[in-house]
Amino acid sequence: MTGILVTGLLCGCGNAIPLMTAEQEQAVGEYAAVTLLKYDANHRSRLVDLADYPLEPEAPAPQPAAEPQEPEPEPEPELIQPSIDDAPVESAPEETPVADQSMEGFLGLADGISLQLNGYAMQDSYPDDSNMGGFFSLTASEGKKLMIIHYTLHNGSGTAQNIDFLYDEITFKVRINGENAKTALVTMLEDDMSTYMGTLESGESKELALIFEVEESLDGAISSVELVMKSASDTFTKML
């Protein structure tokens, strides 16, 4: 069939082969070649209709490995604070007054040593006479008064006795009309009982004083006076 198609294309309807230009011959040749390829059973086009063939899914592109993340810290358990009502209340230790004890016994004085109360006075300054109490004197602050409690320390033991109230660290306080106690002033006066140190010969006496600064309004309005003495472990109270 191929030979018939070529002969027909070249010869036409008559017996004579017409004369053609070079361009016409090239066009006839190309047409004949395309026609031959179209009917050639042994020719297969390299173009394939991909719609007739299922496409294999493309493998996903490799993803970069994720950086390892540190595990988040577990939240700490919330501490429940006790409310004020639930919190244990620690009560301050109560002072335990010493019962059935004398002032001399609480101060640790030797047998035969006595302290005699001579009363108290409200003053603007102490001492009144500059010759008393050595070279020092005290003056009450504005709106205040000095309350002076007078004692006589007597040695009736028969032997000389050393007295040292400063070393014993006794705290002297006064409570007036049942109100908050005031602490005795610590001074350098020779007769200051809170700091007294000295030796009493047998039969000798020494005038001592405890000095407190109190409100001026208390002068003439005092109904009760308590002397409170405290050591490291005990408390002694004596009504004046």
The full set of domains in the chain, from first to last, is 2-39 (no CATH), 103-239 (2.60.40)
HSE of 13 in the Cβ direction (CA atoms, 13 Å)? 0
pLDDT surpassing 90 at residue 213: yes
Q: What percent of the chain has pLDDT over 90?
A: 38
pLDDT surpassing 60 at residue 218: yes
Ranges of H-type helices in 49-138: 103-106
Average pLDDT, the chain: 74
3-state DSSP call for residue 117? strand
> Count of residues for the chain?
240
219 vs 80, higher pLDDT: 219
- Do the strands 225-230 and 235-239 form a parallel or antiparallel pair, or are they unpaired? antiparallel
Tokens of 152: 């006589």
Q: How far is CA 201 from CA 52, 103, 156, 190, in A?
A: 138, 21, 9, 17
pLDDT attached to residue 23: 72
Read off φ and ψ for residue 11, nearest 5 degrees. -95, -25
pLDDT surpassing 50 at residue 54: yes
C-alpha closest to that of 33 among 23, 43, 48: 43
pLDDT surpassing 90 at residue 167: no
Whose tokens are 């400063």? That residue is 166
136 vs 192, higher pLDDT: 192
Most confident of 15-19, 57-61, 114-118, 164-168: 114-118
Read off φ and ψ for residue 30, nearest 5 degrees. -65, -40
pTM: 0.57
131 vs 225, higher pLDDT: 225
pLDDT surpassing 70 at residue 200: yes
Q: What percent of the chain has pLDDT over 70?
A: 57
Taking residues 72-87, report their average pLDDT. Answer: 51
pLDDT class for 87, splitting at 50, 70, 90?
A: very low
H or E element, residue 238: strand 235-239
Tokens of 204: 């000798």
The single-letter DSSP state of residue 167 is T
pLDDT surpassing 60 at residue 236: yes
Whose tokens are 């294999």? That residue is 56
